[in-house]
């Protein structure tokens, strides 16, 4: 699923109360992320910070309001800004200008940032600033030692004190470009010299492991609750490594064109969008990401209620304000919020009036747009667009775009993705993504590793909000256990394997949530992550020491899909079966090999012979009636009844016939392009008939001749369609059959 904000504008509300909370804020509280008000972090902020003199820039009129302070870094880091390391190290924000080395045409210099270019800000031509954590760590050399490689990086760029006493409403705007790996990108504001402070934005909320922001992203934040009417406001931009992970924290954060302004007259904005309504429980919170694909049976049973967190950041109340959701694609739909008067500098979230059920297979685009009677002074952040697909059978949250970040499990670790169940269904398999890095041994799936793949019912949530899962009785469905094992083989790495259960597994009535994924029962399995925004509650990591999943996270989106099953798949599936009988007159047996084609899934054919054997070929020694049942990868089946005769067992030799009249032949080459040779091994000269038949019995070639030992005969079937054919040579007292493949 793609998520695109047209201007790529992000709005975080400081001190605002939402009627409905965006899921990202809810997720963060469960992650164990350090709260910016915690004493440890407050102490870190005060290290080495000098008191800045009170300072106010020239106030001038702008079409979006009064500019209280602006900084475009045309002359470097100046005008009372302080640039400080908060980890007792050397790392600092760096200025990139026209005369610096490197200059403003260079972005990150780190070895792992892949030569990422500079921010494309409005005034990048006269310079910008960057906290280049990747470079501080490795000095631009992979596995190298930078100037601050062993420490967690924390560098603060702090404004001077700014007099906002004349302005009760204040907006902070800046242009940003970042790439994240185990780091935080804090914007902190204070009105008392950082004795207290509020965190008003964190880029890690929007860009997870290895994600990169647009080349320039315009950020707009209401900071009125802290700086409004205050004589000594300050803003701090803090790059901080994830201290819990004890990592230096790749990669970087680039900034330019920072300003404090009063609000424009008219400015509606969308901060986040929601699917699926609202409820009183943790599991009922709205998701900002719908499924990238959802089976039509589930989509038909799900009434989507579109909503959005919206803000009026203008100084004027907006009349007839509303939010409209428009769906286009396989089906069309439109609904909006009942128009209302939106007070100045206020925040709300609301759902559209009508729900939507996607009952048609196909792609869907959803546009969320806010509007009012007044012409918006800042219209480009009024629209957010999402997309999803309704499929026959695939349940997926990811977008099938592999990012370089991975989660991994060894020993008994596990990775699961949570899915909603809107109607009773059956599940045929769960995908297993097997990541393998050719350069980094930490991220290599090992052949021979074993994954326990399963689907389990969610039975509730404990007092801490952890999901509770029934691992002992998967799906509570008696003998239908949604669990199997898969052993990784060479060639699986860097592929996604759909692991099928022995039979489709039913989800019983009453189950509304399941988790799907795998536990690593042996070896090492690494899993790629999707580049899709993770959403709420999509990823669950567990050691399976108990019935709860004790550590869910929203920092990535593993590529785990469910494949559902329905009988309708088989009504349009044609399975054609033929059996190749390879006779052995010495042992009076025939080796039977099925030749199967299907218009459904050609993966994972299974066989059941009337002899009770299940191998892909069997050996029989008796004439009579036989049958085979073939099941394809979609669990669609077909039967084939056939007879085995004395000819099939004894190569057309009756009991007591001498071997002197027998012969054999080889097909060279095989497979071929339709042109091949028959090379004979005959005991005596004899007349023969040559037949080439399709697996359906159609004769595509027929000829007569005589053969002797070692003779070669040219056959030209270049005009025949590619496929599997049977070459049959019939002599006076014998016959031989070979299977060929024409490509």
Q: Dump pLDDT digits (tens) for 41-82.
A: 222 222 222 222 223 333 334 455 789 999 999 989 987 899
Whole-number percent of the chain with pLDDT over 90: 32
pLDDT at 476 over 70: no
End-to-end CA distance of the chain: 38
Class of domain 567-650: mainly beta
Question: Which of the four pLDDT bands, split at 50, 70 and 90, describes residue 488?
Answer: very high
Element (H or E) spanning 523, and its range? none
CB atoms within 10 A of CB 106: 16
CATH, range 268-391: 2.60.40.10
Q: Mean per-residue pLDDT for 343-362?
A: 91
Q: pLDDT digit string (tens) for 188-236?
A: 999 999 999 999 999 988 887 778 899 999 999 999 999 999 999 999 9
* Alpha helix (H) residue ranges in 247-310: 296-301
pLDDT above 50 (res 656): no
All residues at 6 or more sequence positions from 448 whose CB lies less than 8 Å from its CB, including other chains: 487, 488, 522, 523
- Contact between 251 and 177 (Cβ < 8 Å): no
Indicate left, alpha or beta for 92 from its phi (over 0: left) and psi (-120 to 50: alpha).
beta
The position carrying tokens 């509650």 is 537
- CATH assignment of 657-743, among 1.10.10.60, 3.40.50.970, 2.60.40.1930, 3.40.605.10: 2.60.40.1930
**pLDDT interval class at 390 (50, 70, 90):** very high
User: Bigger pLDDT: 478 or 482?
Assistant: 482
Could you tell me which residues are beta bridge partners of residue 719? none
Judged against a pLDDT cut of 60, whether residue 550 lies above it is answered with no
Is the per-residue pLDDT at 28 higher than 80?
no
The pLDDT confidence band at residue 510, using thresholds 50, 70 and 90, is confident
Domain coordinates in residue numbering, the chain:
61-261, 268-391, 402-530+537-564, 567-650, 657-743
Which range has the top average pLDDT, 20-29, 362-371, 631-640, 704-713? 362-371
pLDDT over threshold 70, residue 21 = no
- Cβ(436)–Cβ(533) below 8 Å: no
CA atoms 310, 314, 317, 320: torsion sign: negative
Instruction: Give 384's strand partners.
Output: 5, 368
Is the pLDDT at 252 greater than 90? The verdict is: yes
Query: What's the mean pLDDT when you consider all of the chain?
Result: 79
CA 659 from centroid of its chain's CA atoms = 64
What was the pLDDT predicted at 337? 94
pLDDT in tens, 585-619: 778 888 898 888 888 776 678 899 999 898 889 99
Percent of the chain with pLDDT over 70: 78
Cβ contact 229:216 at 8 Å: no
Round to whole Å and give the CA distance between 417 and 414.
10
Q: Is the dihedral of CA 386, 204, 97, 164 positive or negative?
A: positive
- CA 289 to chain CA centroid, nearest Å: 12
Domain 402-530+537-564: state its class: mainly beta
User: Would the pLDDT of 3 be above 50?
Assistant: no
Q: Are 119 and 88 in contact (CB under 8 A)?
A: no
pLDDT at 411: 56
DSSP symbols for 623-688: -EEEEEEEE-TTS-EEEEEEEE-HHHHHTTPPTT--GGG-EEEEEESSSBSSEEEEEEEESS-EEE
Backbone angles phi, psi at 434, to 5 degrees: -120, 100
Given this model, what pLDDT does residue 247 score?
62
In the three-class reduction of DSSP (H, G, I as helix; E, B as strand; rest coil), residue 298 is classed as helix
pLDDT tens track for 155-187: 999 999 999 999 999 999 999 999 988 788 999
pLDDT digits (tens, 9 = 90+) for 276-309: 744 333 344 456 678 899 999 999 998 898 988 8
Of 32 and 2, more confident: 2
Per CATH, 268-391 and 567-650 having the same topology is answered yes
> Which CATH number applies to 61-261?
2.60.120.200
The pLDDT assigned to 15 comes to 31
pLDDT band at 465 (very low <50, low <70, confident <90, very high): low
- CB of 174 closer than 8 Å to CB of 197: no
Grade residue 549 by pLDDT with cuts at 50, 70 and 90: low
- Structure-model confidence comparison of residues 208 and 678, the more confident one: 678
Between 420 and 711, name the one with better pLDDT: 420
- 436 has a pLDDT exceeding 90: no
When mean pLDDT is compared across 364-373, 378-387, 541-550, 593-602, the lowest value belongs to 541-550
Looking at mean pLDDT, say which of 110-119, 370-379, 472-481, 676-685 comes out highest.
Answer: 370-379
Lowest mean pLDDT among 275-284, 563-572, 708-717, 721-730: 275-284
Diameter over CA atoms, the chain: 115
At residue 369, the pLDDT reads: 96
Give me the pLDDT at residue 9, please: 30
User: How would residue 551 be classed by pLDDT, with cut points 50, 70 and 90?
Assistant: low
Unique residue bearing structure tokens 């496929």: 723
C-beta atoms surrounding 505 within 10 Å = 22
**Given this model, what pLDDT does residue 23 score?**
29
Collapse the DSSP code of 480 into the 3-class scheme (helix H, G, I; strand E, B; otherwise coil) and give the result. Answer: coil
Task: Give the tokens for residue 298.
Answer: 């589930």
Q: Look at residue 26 in the predicted model and tell me its pLDDT.
A: 24
Here the tokens at position 464 are 């801490």
> At 695, which helix (H) or strand (E)?
none
190 beta partners: 234
Q: Is the per-residue pLDDT at 342 higher than 80?
A: yes
How many CB atoms are closer than 10 A to CB 629? 15
């Amino acid at each position: 699923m793609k998520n695109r904000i047209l201007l790529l504008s992000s709005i975080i509300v400081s001190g605002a109360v939402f009627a409905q909370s965006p899921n990202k804020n809810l997720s963060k509280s469960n992650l164990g992320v350090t709260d910016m008000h915690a004493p440890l972090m407050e102490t870190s902020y005060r290290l080495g910070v000098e008191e800045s003199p009170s300072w106010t820039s020239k106030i001038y009129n702008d079409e979006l309001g009064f500019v209280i302070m602006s900084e475009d870094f045309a002359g470097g880091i100046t005008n009372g800004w302080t640039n400080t390391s908060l980890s007792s190290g050397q790392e600092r924000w760096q200025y990139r200008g026209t005369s610096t080395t490197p200059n403003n045409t260079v972005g990150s210099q780190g070895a792992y940032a892949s030569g990422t270019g500079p921010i494309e800000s409005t005034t990048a031509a006269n310079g910008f600033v960057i906290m280049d954590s990747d470079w501080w760590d490795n000095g631009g050399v992979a596995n190298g030692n930078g100037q601050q490689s062993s420490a967690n990086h924390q560098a603060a760029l702090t404004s001077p004190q700014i007099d906002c006493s004349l302005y009760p409403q204040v907006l902070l705007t800046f242009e940003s470009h970042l790439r994240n790996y185990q780091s935080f990108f804090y914007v902190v504001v204070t009105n008392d010299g950082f004795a207290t402070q509020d965190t008003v934005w964190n880029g890690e909320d929007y860009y997870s492991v290895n994600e990169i922001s647009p080349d320039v992203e315009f950020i707009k934040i209401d900071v009125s609750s802290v700086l409004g009417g205050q004589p000594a406001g300050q803003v701090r931009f803090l790059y901080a490594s994830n201290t819990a992970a004890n990592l230096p924290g790749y990669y970087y954060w680039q900034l330019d064109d920072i300003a404090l302004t009063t609000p424009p007259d008219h400015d509606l904005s969308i901060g986040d969008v929601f699917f699926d309504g609202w409820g009183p429980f943790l599991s009922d919170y709205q998701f900002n990401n719908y499924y990238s694909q959802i089976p039509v049976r589930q989509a038909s049973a799900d009434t989507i209620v579109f909503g959005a967190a919206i803000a009026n950041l203008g100084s004027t109340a907006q009349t007839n304000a509303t939010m409209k959701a428009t769906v286009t694609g396989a089906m069309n739909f439109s609904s909006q919020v009942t128009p209302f008067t939106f007070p100045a500098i206020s925040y709300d979230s609301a759902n559209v009036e009508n729900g939507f059920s996607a009952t048609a297979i196909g792609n869907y685009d959803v546009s969320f747009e806010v509007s009012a009677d007044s012409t918006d002074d800042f219209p480009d952040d009024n629209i957010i667009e999402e997309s999803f697909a309704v499929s026959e059978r695939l349940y997926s949250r990811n977008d099938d775009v592999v990012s370089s970040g991975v989660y991994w499990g060894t020993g008994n670790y596990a990775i699961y993705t949570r899915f909603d169940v809107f109607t009773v269904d059956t599940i045929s398999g769960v995908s297993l993504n097997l990541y393998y890095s050719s350069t980094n041994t930490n991220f290599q799936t090992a052949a021979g590793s074993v994954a326990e793949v399963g689907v389990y019912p969610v039975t509730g949530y404990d007092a801490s909000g952890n999901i509770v899962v029934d691992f002992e009785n998967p799906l509570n469905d008696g003998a239908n256990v949604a669990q199997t094992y898969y052993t990784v083989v060479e060639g699986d790495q860097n592929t996604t394997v759909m692991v099928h259960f022995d039979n489709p597994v039913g989800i019983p009535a009453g189950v509304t949530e399941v988790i799907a994924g795998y536990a690593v029962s042996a070896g090492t399995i690494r899993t790629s992550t999707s580049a899709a925004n993770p959403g709420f509650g999509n990823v669950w990591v567990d050691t399976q020491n108990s019935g709860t999943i004790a550590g869910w996270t929203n920092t990535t989106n593993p590529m785990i899909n469910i494949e559902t099953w329905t009988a309708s798949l088989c009504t349009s599936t044609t399975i054609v079966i033929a059996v190749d009988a390879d006779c052995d007159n010495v042992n009076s047996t025939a080796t039977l090999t099925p030749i199967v084609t299907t218009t459904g899934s050609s993966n994972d054919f299974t066989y059941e012979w009337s002899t009770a054997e299940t191998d892909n070929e069997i050996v029989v020694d008796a004439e009579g009636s036989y049958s085979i049942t073939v099941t394809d990868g979609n669990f669609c089946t077909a039967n084939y009844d056939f007879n085995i005769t004395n000819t099939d067992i004894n190569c057309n030799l009756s009991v007591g016939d001498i071997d002197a009249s027998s012969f054999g032949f080889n097909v060279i080459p095989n497979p071929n392009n339709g042109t091949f040779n028959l090379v004979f091994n005959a005991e005596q000269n004899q007349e023969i008939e040559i037949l080439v038949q399709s697996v359906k019995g159609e004769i595509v070639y027929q000829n007569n001749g005589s053969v002797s030992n070692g003779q070669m005969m040219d056959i030209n079937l270049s005009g025949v369609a590619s496929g599997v054919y049977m070459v049959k040579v019939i002599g006076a007292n014998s016959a031989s059959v070979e299977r060929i493949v024409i490509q």
